[in-house]
A and B are shown apart, each in its own frame.
Chain A
Amino acid sequence: MHRLVDVVRFGRGVFENVGAAWSQFWFQSSPTSPLEITRMGIGAALLLHYGLASPYLFDFWGDAGWMPRDLALTELSDPWMQSVFFYFKSPWQWIVFHAVFLIACAALMLGWRTSSVKWIVLIGQISYDYRNPILSYGVDKILACLLFILCVAPIGRAISLDRVRAVRAAKLKNLETIVLPYSSPWSGACIRLMQIQMALLFFYSAISKLKGDDWWSGDAVWIVFTTGEHYNRVILDVLASHYWLVNFATYGTLLIEIAFPFLIWQQRTRPYLLAAAIFIHVQFAVLMGLFYFSFVMIMGHMSFVRPEWLARLGSAWKRRIGEMEMIYDGKCGFCVRSMAWFLAFDGLRQIKIRNFRVNPSSIVTDAQVEKALYLTLPDGRALPGFEAYRYVVLRVPGLWWQVPFFYVPVLSRFFGRPIYNWIAANRSALSSKKTRVFRSLLRFR
């Protein structure tokens, strides 16, 4: 009886330990930031790639193009290989789907309605691939794998318009509210899944190379550059004169691909392996013209970027830029709403705010702030209105998209200052007008 109890106790202990190890491996709470970088990169790459394919829409994926529907169906061996293009009848359906797909790619890149658009992008990517299998190559295979992981992951919670909307909603209630960064065990699990995907990709790529004579003999890189697809006279001249470079590059590629899946997990070796993987993909892009493939691979590798590295980078940026304080009119509804919008883009929380009505500034007088919003800096400078915004947009990464508007030589200041001054002078009227519209909308509802 005692033995049975001991066995049960032992089994339970083993089960608990395995469970703890499993949880530690998969379910460590993590922010989504590494996945968000992948999301933005993949969204941008897909948008550019398929945007440039638009003129060939019917040649590539149409029924009267390179790959008639019947031929495509014979190429696909499995009934589970499906494409929405198989169900289209009229040309407008191709055009509408392509347009929706491109919009979804743009939305994925920006993180707008991410939870829905990511599925449209995945369905689109798979549909384009299966409709014309001859067009797809390595990068399309990787894209489908990464996109599916992004689909199951809780992305759009950081560095996205969805995050901006969430922060803005909170700031509208109270500008001082701090919305903490999203972090969850499921996010950590999805990051891990993408890491495993990349490590497996390198592992299988390495062992399949080891089976080939070109790689064993150290000539593979030479042969790559002699093929018509990657021919480069200058590179071949250099390699032919210094053939040891061919061996070095061939064995170096093998070494990195073999080492990567084993050494990428350790804290000390990760930065080196990650740098090496990025390095070889930059080489593929520059020397072999594989820009799209290399960029997508690098985006996949972003899953190995530790959130702490990004946090440290953010802190270093904050320290370098220094403190910024915006002094605004808390009695003006329009100003508060504008501040809520503005602060929603300040993901690093670089900007401090001060409502001069309840907390007057020692640097700027109330009379000055009555006329315009002010930005004060640690060196004692105070920038009014347009100049304040102009200073901030260059120093807050979330506002960089506004830089073109604020930094066009001559024109930005020529138009920007009067526009700002007019808005500042009429802010009370704008506030009441907007409030009236808002109230009437509420009544209507």
Chain B
Amino acid sequence: MSAPLEARSINEGRSNIASGRVVILARWRQRLTYLVMSGFLAWHTLAMVVAPAPDNSVLAQSVRPVFQPYLSLLRLDNTWDFFAPTVGKGSQLRYVIEDETGQRTTFVPAEELSWYHPAYFWFRSWYYSIIESPDAYADYAAAFFCRKHASLRPVSITLLEYQEGDFWADDQLSGKHPMDPEFVTVNTIKQAKCTGS
């Protein structure tokens, strides 16, 4: 075999080995990608199942610590329990402002909101929080409402919860309203002075 031919066949051999390596590498890369993708899909699906699982499920609770950081970080830790298990009774926030002359005016903040604006849900959520956790939110709310009605020269404010009761079809047919006094229980949430008035 002549020298140039020998060199050519060596070169061909080398390039064959190199292309073979490329093919093997590509194949392994493909397999690795497939494995990583599959691992992620299995992990995320399990996370979606575990997140809303009941607290009393031993199986779900045993794996929850593994998923917890992932669920919390990505805000995936949700229970899909819309209007469940019961719809529940609503509550309405009202407040009474007393001015310098001793006159008391009642306000129903929810009635100032429109269904068609997202503010409806933001403010309602806030009102519920004031009702449910007055220690955390009532002080700020009282100051906020006092500022809002500064033109009335408010002296004090009383935050009230109107808790809704049972209201059935017969009540509706007899022309009553769920917020009529006979259907609601009124609780005082907080009384506060309006500072700076």
Expressed in whole angstroms, the Cα–Cα distance for A136 and B128 within the complex equals 12
Give the dominant DSSP class at A's interface. helix
Q: How far is the CA of A415 from the CA of B110 in the complex (A)?
A: 49
A292 at the interface (CB under 8 A from B): yes
Contacts A204-B80, A224-B87 known; 15 new A-B pairs at CB < 8 A: A22-B38, A27-B37, A60-B122, A126-B74, A135-B122, A141-B75, A145-B48, A148-B76, A189-B37, A205-B84, A208-B84, A212-B85, A215-B85, A220-B83, A243-B169
Q: Is there a chain B Cβ closer than 8 Å to A138's Cβ?
A: yes
Q: Which residues of B contact A227 (CB under 8 A)?
A: 87-90, 164, 178
Chain B min CB distance to A319 (Å): 38
- What residues of B have a CB within 8 angstroms of the CB of A137 in the complex? 121, 125
A239 at the interface (CB under 8 A from B): yes
| Cβ–Cβ contact A229 & B119, under 8 A | no
In B99-138, which residues have CB < 8 Å from any A CB?
110, 115-122, 124-126, 128-129, 136-137
Cross-chain contact B125 with A135 (CB below 8 angstroms): yes
B173 is an interface residue with CB less than 8 A from chain A: yes
A95 at interface, CB cutoff 8 A: no
Smallest CB-CB A-B distances: 10 pairs = A212-B85, A227-B90, A80-B72, A289-B115, A208-B84, A144-B75, A240-B172, A211-B85, A141-B78, A204-B80
Residues of B within 8 A of A (CB): 34, 37-38, 40-41, 44-45, 48-49, 52, 68-69, 72-76, 78-92, 110, 115-122, 124-126, 128-129, 136-137, 140-141, 164, 167-170, 172-173, 178-179
Give the Cβ gap from B117 to chain A, nearest Cβ, in Å.
7
Q: Are A289's CB and B87's CB within 8 A?
A: no
Asked if A403 lies at the interface with its beta carbon under 8 angstroms from chain B, I say no
- Please indicate the chain B residues that have their CB under 8 angstroms from the CB of A405 in the complex: none
Most buried by B among A122, A212, A220: A212
A residues in contact with B34, CB < 8 Å = 27
Residues from chain B with a CB closer than 8 A to the CB of A142 are: 78
List residues of chain B with CB within 8 A of the CB of A126: 74-75
A255 contacts the other chain (Cβ, under 8 Å)? no
16 contacts between A and B (CB under 8 A): A26-B41, A52-B119, A53-B119, A60-B122, A66-B137, A141-B78, A144-B78, A148-B76, A186-B37, A196-B48, A205-B81, A210-B85, A215-B86, A228-B90, A228-B164, A240-B169
User: Is there contact, CB below 8 Å, between A80 and B73?
Assistant: yes
Give which listed residue, A152, A192, A222, contacts B169 with CB less than 8 A.
A222
A56 within 8 A of partner (CB): yes
Q: Is A6 an interface residue (CB 8 A)?
A: no
Contact of A145 among B76, B126, B136, B168 (CB under 8 A): B76
- Residues of B with C-beta under 8 A to A202: 80
**In the complex, what residues of B have CB within 8 A of residue A71's CB?**
136
B80–A144 CB distance below 8 A: no
Known A-B contacts A144-B75, A196-B45, A241-B173; A223 and B84 likewise in contact (beta carbons under 8 Å): no
Task: Report if A289-B120 is in contact (Cβ < 8 Å); known contacts: A26-B41, A135-B126, A145-B78.
Answer: yes
- The distance in angstroms between the C-alpha atoms of A226 and B125, with both chains bound, is 18
From A53, A193, A212, give the contact of B44 (CB < 8 A): A193
Q: Which residues in A have their C-beta under 8 angstroms from that of B41?
A: 26, 189, 192-193
Is residue A308 within 8 Å, beta carbon to beta carbon, of the partner chain? no
Give the docked Cα–Cα distance between A152 and B120 (Å): 33
Q: For the complex, give the distance between the alpha carbons of A215 and B82 in Å.
A: 12
Which residue from A80, A135, A226 sits with its C-beta under 8 Å from B178? A226
- Inter-chain contact A148/B74, CB cutoff 8 Å: yes
State the CA gap A212–B83 with chains docked (Å).
9
Q: Is A313 an interface residue (CB 8 A)?
A: no
Closest CB in chain B relative to A262 CB, distance in Å? 15
A130 to B38, CA, bound (A): 30
- By a CB distance below 8 angstroms, the chain A residues around B75 are 81, 125-126, 129-130, 141, 144
Q: A292 contacts B118, CB within 8 Å? A: yes
A321 within 8 A of B: no
Q: How far does the alpha carbon of A229 sit from the alpha carbon of B92 in the complex, in Å?
A: 9
A212 to B84 Cα, complex, angstroms: 7
A200 touches B48 (CB 8 A): yes
Number of residues of chain A lying within 8 A (CB) of chain B: 68
**Residues in B whose Cβ lies below 8 Å from that of A243:** 169
Bound-complex Cα distance A105 to B80 (A)? 25
Q: How far is the CA of A197 from the CA of B110 in the complex (A)?
A: 34
**Nearest neighbor of A25 in chain B, beta-carbon distance:** B41
Chain A residues whose CB sits within 8 angstroms of the CB of B73 once the complex forms: 80-82
Q: Contact at A134–B129, with CB atoms within 8 Å? A: yes
User: A237 contacts the other chain (Cβ, under 8 Å)?
Assistant: yes
Q: CA separation between A49 and B121, bound complex, in Å?
A: 11
Instruction: Name A222's closest neighbour in chain B (CB-CB).
Output: B169
Instruction: List chain A residues, Cβ under 8 A from B68.
Output: 78, 80
Taking CB atoms, residues of chain B closer than 8 Å to A122 are: 74
Say which residue of A144, A189, A220 sits within 8 Å of B87 (CB atoms).
A220
The reply to whether the CB of A251 lies closer than 8 angstroms to some CB of chain B is: no
Question: By CB atoms of chain B within 10 A, which of A22, A66, A224, A237 has the most?
Answer: A66
Q: Chain A contacts of B91 at CB under 8 A?
A: 228
**Neighbouring A residues of B120 by C-beta, 8 Å:** 289
From the candidates B80, B89, B124, name the one contacting A200 in the complex (CB within 8 A).
B80
Docked pose: A138 CA to B167 CA in angstroms: 26
| A170 interfacial by beta-carbon distance below 8 Å | no
* CA of A122 to CA of B126, assembled, Å: 24
Q: Find A80's partner among B44, B69, B80, B119 (CB 8 Å cutoff).
A: B69
CB distance from B155 to the nearest CB of A (A): 24
Residue of B nearest to A59 (CB): B144
A214 touches B178 (CB 8 A): no
Let me know if B179 and A228 touch, CB within 8 A.
yes
Contact B80–A208 (Cβ < 8 Å): yes
Interface: A201 (CB within 8 A): yes
